Amino acid sequence: MRCIKPLLAVVLSITLFGCQNQTKEKAINANKNVQTQDTKADSDLRPKDQIYFLNKVRAESDYSITSNSIKKDAHIEDFNKYAKDTLKEFKNWEFIVDEVNDNRSDANTISQIFGWDENPIYNLKVVSPIKVDNSVDTIAIDNRVNFTYTIPKLPKGAPLKKQLTLIKDLNKGDTIIVSGAVTHFNNKGKIDFATFYDQDLPWNIDLMVSDIWKKGKHQ
């Protein structure tokens, strides 16, 4: 018995020491994870409302929502309200240029509803990334969201002419800063994002532009 008691004391000491080390390691790792997440969030200098929007689209595309009709209908209603209330005016969002084309089939839903695409147009197609992997390609994006701005080839008015002059000078991969609005219409002319909940492709959202310039070159 005299031998057993000292042995038990040694075992208990080792056990307690090991538990304390594990607790410290867990606390250190947890702190590292928080710091890493904070660093990632702080490294994205885009407007908070833009980041919120992109993360919201990512969340809305989750299979648990799109595969459940009841959940999907509720989320569509909520997102349409969010678009009407919040996305009608934004400031200085950052986009990456994908291409500029003149295909009528690529015109955004605004131009289709109002018949603007019946005349010659240009489509400025841009993307807004959650995360860019520059090691692969400038448009290699984690969960990309596409945007299309449709503008007449022969615009009327100084503001549109100024926009077109800038758009003609853009190349794939350029970074632009845009102020304006974001929306999407159904074939009845109402704001409706329902179609995006039934597809696996990236969302392609209408972009309305009030101001646009290449990053670092605003006058």
User: Structural domain boundaries of the chain?
Assistant: 1-43, 48-214
Residue 140: the pLDDT is 62
**Range list of β-strands (E), the chain:** 90-101, 121-128, 131-132, 141-142, 145-152, 175-183, 204-214
12: three-class secondary structure by DSSP: helix
Residue 136: the pLDDT is 65
Q: Which of 4-8, 25-29, 129-133, 197-201 has the lowest mean pLDDT?
A: 4-8
Q: Residue 202: exposed, middle, or buried by beta-carbon count in 10 A (0-12, 13-18, 19+)?
A: middle
Average pLDDT, the chain: 83
What's the whole-model pTM score? 0.77
The pLDDT of 179-195, averaged and rounded, is 96
Write the pLDDT tens digit of every residue in 134-186: 676 666 667 789 999 999 999 999 999 999 999 999 999 999 999 999 999 99
Write the pLDDT tens digit of every residue in 16-64: 444 455 545 544 454 544 444 444 445 788 999 999 999 999 999 999 9
Q: Could you report how far apart the first and last alpha carbons of the chain are, in Å?
A: 88
DSSP one-letter string for 107-119: --HHHHHHTGGGS
